[in-house]
Structure 1
């Protein structure tokens, strides 16, 4: 396609152990990298491509920039399996760890390191997309939801996890649209942890049964689809596409992804069909927008919308 490494195509890795609140130096460097790349390529606006937590990291970065800056420097944002609303798997990692799909690594050994990362708290299920009374961890004596998650951290003897959650919560609740064209690709129809179930007679220091739902094997579907809510909240276009039977890492090298990005590179306005399987009614959309805005402290506009007669 005519791209040259470190000139017209550049990487911008970040320390994935850190949440946005600890990555401020990175965002300063990223902004300069974008501006330099723009200037070194005949003032050509930039296409950002992000994977997993890179999605919400990019969202935070873009929401810190002026609209004039974004209009000048950013052509579009492409996200692959963006963890927009977090994941129940983060709770699983706090409880028992994650072996990263390896037959050599032990979950319990990995957990000791994994739970020290503030980014894990950043990836906990967001109250924007999970109900406060939705059971995430079920035990014989008590159920744990977002409303009593502090007790879960006490139960697993890791109260620091709750403190980390409080530090990153403002970043999770800021889900304003990015103000740039968005292309949101994500895997689906892969078993993904939705709940931890501890059988009677066991407690949080035991090993739970993992109950599964839809997603990409790492991120739950509702979180992957969260980018769709921006369609009615910004003037820039928002495209999205599910890639069935594709997991969280598989989306990086799958043919669908490669063809999609190649098409974006070749054309300024690709034709992308919105999946028919995701079709909320008008009322569903308004109710969800109202909930989002109440959580972000801006509910009046959508309260009025919900009073219109044709809804």
Structure 2
């Protein structure tokens, strides 16, 4: 679910003939699509996780795929939510868009106590990042690099 803290809250993510929904409107969107039972878990579990991305103050490495068309905005026509929407695609890993993938990098950019390394793998999807040979080489290389730093002590 898109975080209001990360996404532009004025940019519509879902557009219908009768309403538009931004990251601020997810609870209403869940109601409108006929999933009111999703509102409480969204407000009580999802929002607290994404409202503030607290830096853990330990070194973090994020390895993400990029360059895969990823749903960005959904346009529903006159049939509303009963028919598949027209999709405008953004950059991402095929499942998660770049705004979300880079959320921690943006949130922790000025936090001197947080070490963060982001490795972007062009053409690697969310579902193949643990299968793709290039991605696996990168992951193993990172693990080996981290292990070698600690084995020299």
TM over 0.5: yes
Match of residue 35 from structure 2: 158
Task: Tell me which residue corresponds to 2:151.
Answer: none
- Equivalent in the alignment of 1:216: 93
Distance 1:149 1:268, change over 3 A: closer
- CA 1:231 to 1:146, structure 2 compared with 1: closer, same or farther past 3 Å? closer
* TM-score of the two chains, using structure 2 as the length reference: 0.84
Change (3 A) 1:160 1:179: same
**Residue matched to 1:145:** 22
* Aligned match for 2:131, one of 239, 246, 253: 253
Gaps of at least 5 residues in structure 2 are 149-153
Q: 1:207 aligns with which of 59, 66, 84?
A: 84
Secondary structure class of the residue paired with 1:261: helix
TM-score (norm 1): 0.44
Specify which structure has the higher proportion of helix. Answer: 1
What CA distance in whole angstroms lies between the structure 1 residues aligned with 2:143 and 2:96?
A: 27
Q: For the pair shown, which has the larger CA radius of gyration, 1 or 2? A: 1
Structure-to-structure mapping, 1:112-131, within 5 angstroms: 124-131=1-8
- C-alpha spacing 1:242/1:160, structure 2 compared with 1 (3 Å): same
How many residues of Structure 1 are paired with residues of Structure 2 in the alignment?
Answer: 146
What's the Cα RMSD here? 2.0
* Structure with larger RCO (C-alpha < 8 A, sep 6+): 2
- 8 Å contact from structure 1 (residues 186, 242) kept in 2: yes
Instruction: Please give the alpha-carbon distance, in whole angstroms, between the structure 2 residues aligned to 1:206 and 1:264.
Output: 44
More strand by share: 2
